Amino acid sequence: MASSEQSHVPAEVKAEISKLELPPLIHRDFVEISSDTGDIVRVMQWNILAQGLCGGADNFMKCPKEALEFESRKLRVLEEITRYCPTVICIEEVDFYPYLFECLSKLGYAGVYSEKPDSPCLYQTNNIGPDGTAILYDTSKLVLSQSDSKILKENGQQSNHVTVIAQFQTKTKDPKIFYVGATHLKAKRGYEEKRKLQGQYISNYLQENCNDAPVIYCGDFNAEATEPVYSVMKSCSIGLNSAYTLLSKNNEEPKYTTWKIRPKGEECHTIDYIWYSNKGLKVKSVLNIAVEEEIGKNRLPSLKYPSDHLSLVCDFLLL
């Protein structure tokens, strides 16, 4: 296993976290999948948990109130992102994008952001604005060639969910072109068909617009691997695989990417994915899923972790 810590965390963030006397973030390690070498792109996928959705009727039952306060959470989100030095960052439920963009731009990141047409955050008291999906990238390593933001459609009808897709070119001796996309599909049980239709829209878009170069597509799909939308993505004609199945000998998804305690009970399942195309990409390493002991008995979020979703991080070899 390779160390998870490359620590790009800004000194001022470390200092503020130290003042708050917060515990270290959940520890995780990278698992090497391939010993091959070459041009590497590190991609992070993470639903960071919108600040506007930290309260309300479906709140996190065992999470200390201080762990949900914005002044500490925004630091912990930034800490989690920067400690892995990702080349590309795909994040959902982003309702404090100006803060993240300002901080990350000082580290050389730029980005593309798209709000939901009608964000649920706006219906919560003390919200800080609408949430959306963003892709940020390390400008020292990549050039943004083009980007697109689309409202997902379901049988031709506009939904309340978006996707962001960007085409990048590496700043290497032999420049390579690839696409990265991100999305956040409809949540909760009973919306399986809606998620399937949203997935079909994404699959069709990728087939029609991103068939000329490798594709990495990330998101909180709010769907387990047994749902139709998972099959839709897997059967996309550009040939998509789920990176985190490589942690399993049987090519199965992890047991969980989110683990929380709601009023109706405990929720522990995998709904977040990093998909990648067969063409032009190979997984070099994958950030392991945190073990139960690290997560803790009160689950997520917590003082050790600012979101109810674990970040997913993969190193891809560009072939």
**Per-residue pLDDT tens digits for 70-99:** 999 999 999 999 999 999 999 999 999 999
The size of the chain, in residues, is 319
Contact by Cβ (8 Å): 211, 238: yes
Closest C-alpha to 91, from 130, 52, 134, 132: 134
- Can you tell me the distance from the alpha carbon of 309 to that of 25, in angstroms, rounded to the nearest whole number? 13
Q: What are phi and psi of 220, to 5 degrees?
A: -95, 105
Q: Give SS3 for 257.
A: coil
Percent of the chain that is helix, strand, coil (3-state, to 5)? 25, 35, 40
Instruction: Say if CB 48 and CB 94 are below 8 A apart.
Output: yes
Instruction: Please report the pLDDT score of residue 264 as a whole number.
Output: 85
pLDDT band at 3 (very low <50, low <70, confident <90, very high): very low
- Per-residue pLDDT, averaged over 139-144, amounts to 98
pTM score: 0.96
Which are the contacts of 98, defined by CB distance < 8 A and separation ≥ 6?
none
- Tell me what pLDDT residue 57 has: 57
- Please write the tens of the pLDDT for every residue from 23-54: 999 999 999 999 999 999 999 999 999 999 99
pLDDT in tens, 176-229: 999 999 999 999 999 999 999 999 999 999 999 998 999 999 999 999 999 999
Split at pLDDT 50, 70, 90, the class of 263 is confident
Spatial separation of the C-alpha atoms in residues 154 and 201, rounded to whole Å: 7
Q: Structural domains in the chain?
A: 11-318 (3.60.10.10)
